[in-house]
Chain A
Amino acid sequence: AQSVAQPEDQVNVAEGNPLTVKCTYSVSGNPYLFWYVQYPNRGLQFLLKYITGDNLVKGSYGFEAEFNKSQTSFHLKKPSALVSDSALYFCAVSSGAGSYQLTFGKGTKLSVIP
C-alpha cells in the first residue's frame, strides 16, 4: 500500500522568508509525486510534479520541490513567501506498480504573516 505523510499540520512563516512544507512517502515501485494547493472552499490546483529525471522540480507561482529518493521525501519550497501563498497544501503520490490511484497526505496549512 502507498502512503503519504505531511508531518506538520500548520506552518507559519513571515512574508519574504523562505518556506518549506514537508512530505514523505512510501510506495512499491517508482513514485510519481505531486503537490496541490487549495484555497478555502475551492478545488485543488496543481502546482508541480516529479516523474523522473532532475530531482529539483519547478512549478507554478515560484514553487519548487526536491525529490530525495534515499529519504523518500518531496518537500515543497519557495525562496520568498507571499501573504497570498497562505492556503492548504497537499502532497500526493502514485506509483507505476499497477495502481492508478493517487494517495493524498492530510494537508499542511500554510500561514504567511505580513
Chain B
Amino acid sequence: DGGITQSPKYLFRKEGQNVTLSCEQNLNHDAMYWYRQDPGQGLRLIYYSQIVNDFQKGDIAEGYSVSREKKESFPLTVTSAQKNPTAFYLCASSIEPEPWNEQFFGPGTRLTVL
C-alpha cells in the first residue's frame, strides 16, 4: 500500500451524520484521488486534486466534499446528502496528474451506515 495511509480502517455512521475519511501520503505526489468501490462495480471516481488548493468532481461527487489544504492530505467528507454511502473507499495518489502515471492506493476505509 506504499506511502499512503487511510484512517480509520472501519467506520460506522448513523443516518444523517457527516463523517470524514482521512488520507495522507508521504510520496510527495502532486495528484490525489478518491474512489468508491461497490461489489461487482469496480472503482468509481468521486473527486480528484491535481495540486494544492484545487480539486475537481469525478463521476459520482454528489453527497461528498473534499479539501486539499496541504500537499500530503486529501480528506473526504461523506455528507448526509449521500443516500447510499455504505461502501469501501479508496484514496490514491500519482506523482503528477498525467494520464500515463500509475496511481498508488491506500489500504481503504470501509464505511457502514447503521
Contact = CB atoms under 8 A, between A and B. Distances in A.
Contacts of B33: 102
Contact-size category for A: 20 to 34
Interface residues of B, number: 30
A43 interface: yes
Contacts, number: 63
Contact of B90 (A43, A46, A94, A96): A43
B99 A96 contact: yes
A84 interface: no
B104 to A, nearest CB: 7
Interface in B37-75: 40-45, 48, 50, 58-59
Given A43-B1, A105-B42, A106-B40, A100 B31 contact: yes
A100 B50 contact: yes
A95 interface: yes
Interface of B: 1, 4, 6, 31, 33, 40-45, 48, 50, 58-59, 88, 90, 92, 97-100, 102-108, 110
8 contacts: A34-B102, A43-B92, A43-B106, A96-B99, A100-B48, A101-B58, A102-B33, A106-B40
